[in-house]
Chains A and B, each alone.
Chain A
Amino acid sequence: MNKLEIRNLTKTYGRKKANDNITVTLQNGVYGLLGPNGSGKTTIMKQITTLIEPTKGEIIYNGDNIKTLDDKYRALIGYLPQEFGVYKNFSAKQFLQYVAALKGLSKKESRNKIDELLNLVGLYDVRNKVVGKFSGGMKRRVGIAQALLNDPKILVLDEPTAGLDPQERARFRNLLSQISKDKIILLSTHIISDIESIAKETIMIKNGAILMKGNHRDILSAMEGKVYSIKTNNEEEAVEIQNSYKTVNIQRGVDDIELRVISDNMPPYKTTQVVEPKFEDVYMFYFDLENSREV
Chain B
Amino acid sequence: MINWELKKIFKCRTGLIVLVLFVFLSGIMVFLNPTLETENSYRNDKYELIVDTRPGNEIAQEKFDEKIKQIANTNANDDFMNKIGEISRDNLKFMKYKEYKEVNFYKVINYKASHPFMSVIMVIILVLIFSNIYVDEKISGVDSIILSSENKLKVLYSKLGLAIIVPLIMYGGYLIIEFLVTLVKYGAPVNGGLEAFRIIDNGFILLNGTYTINEYLVLKIITMLLIFISISVFSSFFSFISNNSLASISGILIFIGVGKVLTLIKFLPSLLLNILSVGNYVDLIFYSDRFVGMYAGNVNILGISLELINLCNGILIATLLTGVILCIVTFKKVLTR
Contact = CB atoms under 8 A, between A and B. Distances in A.
Interface of A: 46, 49-53, 71, 74-75, 77, 79, 81, 83-90, 98-99, 101-104, 146, 150
Given A85-B140, A89-B11, A101-B4, A75 B150 contact: yes
Interface stretch (B94-102, B141-149, B288-296): B141-149
Secondary structure call for the B interface: helix
Nearest to A102: B149
A101 B1 contact: yes
Contact of A88 (B1, B140, B144, B152): B140
Nearest 3 pairs of A and B residues by beta carbon: A85-B141, A102-B149, A75-B150
A81 B4 contact: no
Nearest to B147: A51
Contact of B142 (A53, A85, A101): A85
A257 B153 CA distance: 60
A77 B145 contact: no
B148 A79 contact: yes
A120 B153 CA distance: 30
Contacts of A85: 139-142
Contact of A51 (B4, B142, B148): B148
17 contacts: A46-B144, A49-B144, A51-B148, A52-B336, A71-B151, A74-B148, A77-B148, A81-B145, A85-B141, A89-B11, A89-B12, A99-B145, A101-B4, A101-B151, A102-B151, A103-B149, A104-B151
A135 to B, nearest CB: 16
B12 A102 contact: no
Given A52-B337, A79-B145, A102 B140 contact: no
Contact of A90 (B11, B147, B336): B11
Contacts of B153: 71
A79 B337 CA distance: 18
Contacts of A150: 150
Nearest to B138: A85
B148 A98 contact: no
Given A74-B149, A102-B146, 8 more contacts: A50-B148, A71-B151, A75-B150, A79-B144, A81-B141, A102-B149, A102-B152, A103-B150
B8 interface: yes
A77 B337 CA distance: 19
B140 to A, nearest CB: 4
- Of B144, B155, B337, most A-chain CB atoms within 10 Å: B144
Interface residues of B, number: 22
B195 to A, nearest CB: 52
Contacts of A50: 147-148, 336
A284 to B, nearest CB: 31
A82 B140 CA distance: 13
A74 B155 CA distance: 14
A52 B337 CA distance: 5
A60 B12 CA distance: 40
A81 B140 CA distance: 12
A117 to B, nearest CB: 15
Contacts of B148: 49-51, 74, 77, 79
A183 to B, nearest CB: 16
Quick one: which of A51, A84, A86, A88 has the most chain B CB within 10 A?
A51
B181 to A, nearest CB: 34
B336 A86 contact: no
Contacts of A75: 150
Contact of A84 (B141, B151, B336): B141
A286 B144 CA distance: 31
B141 A83 contact: yes
Contacts of B1: 101
A87 B146 contact: no
B145 A71 contact: no
A46 B144 CA distance: 9
A87 B132 CA distance: 14
Contacts of A74: 148-150, 152
A83 B137 CA distance: 12
A52 B336 CA distance: 5
A25 B1 CA distance: 35
A139 to B, nearest CB: 10
A229 to B, nearest CB: 43
B141 A102 contact: no
A75 B154 CA distance: 13
Contact of A146 (B145, B336, B337): B145
A150 B150 CA distance: 10
Contacts of A88: 140
